[in-house]
Structure 1
Amino acid sequence: MKSAVTISLVSEARGGPFVFHDDLPAACRTAKELGFDAVELFAPGPNAVAVSDLKAVLGDNGLSLAAVGTGAGWVKHKLTLTNADAGGRRKAMDFVKSMIDFGANFNAPAIIGSMQGRWGDGTDKATATGHLAESLAELGGHAAALIYEPLNRYETNFATRLEEGVELLKRVGRENVKLLADLFHMNIEEVNLADALKATGRHVGHVHLADSNRRPAGSGHTDFAPIAAALKEIGYAGYVSAEAFPYPDSKAAAKATIQAFRKHFA
């Protein structure tokens, strides 16, 4: 398994669960200093950072790009893949495709989280779920790899547990569309986090690391040992990426994260 840490460049998400905010070069320098393998980028759009500039700052710090988030499509532009309006869904698809293309320059998959939206806003559950599955199938056809994230019940009413995510992926029908196992969301929704990972192992393509209170690992009551053991049992060899509040500050949060990663996941 490889370590990563999140960087948000989206002003509307300032104060959200990202370890670093705004200053990409400084965040990458700190990630290098602490020994991370990669960063995960949450950008307002595909043109927020020039590909050449990002390649340079990653190269200077010996880092990879673990993944790119698409949540700005919702946070900034209010786009969702399940909008009742077909034109709105197409705008959402175009935004995600642009982020897929941006990430492809770094072999980094795009993550579909908040852009999945909710059913009930003018669309019944069956129809909205159909829109989501069709969208993920089309996006999966556009991408080398795509990551779908089950969220907790307060953020979505689609898949909230990994098993529900697998059922959705069966409808999508593309092997390159995988699940994001976010330990914060799982702490709310799963009966047992390790068992959930073992039950859905081959579908897990990315992991978000945070403690029970969404602060950095070690700041809450999550027991990471059985979670790490489950990931090793299923042969997971992807990124464990810190998506947590910068508590008490960004550098301290990153330091606590890398210590927890080395203790449990490395």
Structure 2
Amino acid sequence: MMKSAITVSLVEEARGGPFVFWDGLADAFEQAAKLGFDAVEVFAPGPDAVSVDELRSLSEQTGLRVAAVGTGAGMVKHGLSLTDPDVSKRKAAREFVRSMIDFGGPVGAPAIIGSMQGRWGGDLSLAGALDYLAEALEELAPLAAEYDVPLIYEPLNRYETNLIKTVDEGLTFLNRLQTGNVKLLADLFHMNIEESDVAAAIRRGGDAIGHVHFVDSNRQAAGLGHTDFAPIIAALRGIGYDGYLCAEAFPIPDSQTAAQKTIDSLKTLLA
């Protein structure tokens, strides 16, 4: 059975970005619990921003799980990329992701590789960048497996990366890896830009899909854009997806309204 989740950002440098809650972790857990969400996805500036004990305590107090943890602060705050031509910077990027795996793993939350995948260009070819990315995921995915969680890789739209933009490209990339512990993140906003048929792409993704960012065409809460969610939910049911549908949405017109609209849409769609 699919479960609901909502995002909270603790990264001041990302303010204005597509995260619903911004007023601290405790507030996010409290608000999400009141609205009936199942989990919270945490975008933190680093592993030291919140202790694992605090994360576990908030989870136990509210009955909510931690759906996933983002690693994008590695890029936003520190300019780190897993495909940086500089070997020392690639190493620092892997260490940052490793630290986030160790942050989320103890509470059963996988780490998401999104913006930290970087880009190719200049002296770095697409093939070279994909080699660096594959090398990083081969190293990091087994670390996630130690916590019995996958490593989540997110294809992004053309304006945010020039590496892997579609589910099919993601599947091709996963097939080259030796590790089987990397899953794809199906972000409906990115897919709205890059996929000709979102539901069909999800069906092709099948059990390679390990997480879903549930958001409308304009990256606002579900119901505030033009996405037809019914065939998407049908496709997710068809592949047996039982993970989280997580609102990575702009807090428009405000956090509370975006959260309420999301949970109302989910209740209707999953009824």
Say if 1:118 and 1:157, in contact at 8 Å, map to a contact too: yes
Poorly superposed stretches of 4+, deviation over 4 Å? none
> Residue in 2 aligned with 1:207?
212
Q: What do you get for the CA RMSD once the two structures are aligned?
A: 0.9
Find the aligned partners of 2:183 and 2:122 in 1 and give their Cα distance.
Answer: 27
Name the amino acid aligned to 2:72. Answer: G
Say if 1:70 and 1:112, in contact at 8 Å, map to a contact too: yes
Find the aligned partners of 1:121 and 1:133 in 2 and give their Cα distance.
Answer: 20
Find the aligned partners of 1:94 and 1:193 in 2 and give their Cα distance.
Answer: 34
Please identify, of 121-130 and 179-188, the stretch whose mean Cα deviation from structure 2 is larger.
Answer: 121-130
> Residue in 2 aligned with 1:179?
184
Name the amino acid aligned to 2:210. Answer: G
> Residue in 2 aligned with 1:97?
98
Query: TM-score, with normalisation over the residues of structure 2?
Result: 0.96
Deviations 1:136-180 (A, max 9, x none): 111112112100000000000011000100111112232210000
Find the aligned partners of 1:81 and 1:112 in 2 and give their Cα distance.
Answer: 9
Residues 103-182 of structure 1 mapped to structure 2, 5 A cutoff: 103-144=104-145, 145-182=150-187
Q: Displacement of 1:56 after TM fit?
A: 1.3
Q: Displacement of 1:121 after TM fit?
A: 4.2
Find the aligned partners of 2:153 and 2:97 in 1 and give their Cα distance.
Answer: 12
> Residue in 2 aligned with 1:77?
78
Unaligned ranges ≥5, structure 1? none
Deviations 1:96-122 (A, max 9, x none): 000001111101100000000000043
Find the aligned partners of 1:82 and 1:200 in 2 and give their Cα distance.
Answer: 24
Unaligned ranges ≥5, structure 2? none
> Residue in 1 aligned with 2:60?
59
Say if 1:84 and 1:121, in contact at 8 Å, map to a contact too: no
> Residue in 2 aligned with 1:16?
17
- The one of 184, 199, 202 aligned to 1:194: 199
Q: Secondary structure at the match of 1:143?
A: helix
Deviations 1:177-217 (A, max 9, x none): 00000000000000000000001111000000110000000
Residue 244 (str. 1) matches residue 249 (str. 2)? yes
Q: Displacement of 1:22 after TM fit?
A: 3.4
Name the amino acid aligned to 1:228. Answer: I
Residue 263 (str. 1) matches residue 263 (str. 2)? no
Query: TM-score, with normalisation over the residues of structure 1?
Result: 0.98
Find the aligned partners of 1:187 and 1:177 in 2 and give their Cα distance.
Answer: 23
- Alignment identity in percent? 60
